[in-house]
Amino acid sequence: MRDFATLHSELKLKPFLESPLGALYLSREVPGESRLVVRHFDGSLPSTMVGPFVALLRSAQQWFERNPELERLVSVEQPVEVGSDFVARKHHLYGVNLASYTEWDEPPAPPPQLARMQKAFRRSLGKSTDPRNMLLEKVLARSLLEATAKTYFDDDEERFIVVDLKPTADEVKRWAALSAPGTR
């Protein structure tokens, strides 16, 4: 398992964005290869939270897979590599995101799938008493119901892509605690 320092050296990563969950870095462009966004767990989340963070991402995708209507409409980007102190994912290029539909002076028309997706998501909320599902629903709501630059509609796939799930550091730590052996 690689660490961030090794990955940084090998891929010649460039600083991209600051994030409370760990600084984001971008790999350089290599013809024929997808660029990567790498989250270095150097912020309010220590490297011990890499596993719970990845588990939260996977559980988010599985949550959609349990609902066929939403599975057709939403996908959560999954890591392409997990290191001892980093998570790497594919870099997406897009101009219009969920925030665009409400925050721009002259917003584009949202795709018809937006209302359908949000309605189906709202119908699916609150049916579980499992604390993990309740936490997951809260995190997912920020990515699907709020204006965010981290979710966009992919015309080719005809679905919304959550490129960067939006948990807080406290939510990742709570996920870790709820997922610990003996707590379920």
Query: Residue range 63-80: average pLDDT?
Result: 96
First to last CA, the chain: 29
User: Tens of pLDDT along 4-21?
Assistant: 999 999 999 999 999 999
Cβ-Cβ contacts under 8 Å for 158 (sequence gap 6 or more): 113
**Of 136 and 34, more confident:** 136
Residue 184 has pLDDT above 60, yes or no: no
Please tell me the pTM assigned to this model.
Answer: 0.94
User: Tens of pLDDT along 111-163?
Assistant: 999 999 999 999 999 988 999 999 999 999 999 999 999 999 999 999 999 99
Of the chain, the percentage scoring pLDDT greater than 70 comes to 98
CB contact at 8 A, 81 and 34: no
Residue 182 has pLDDT above 80, yes or no: no
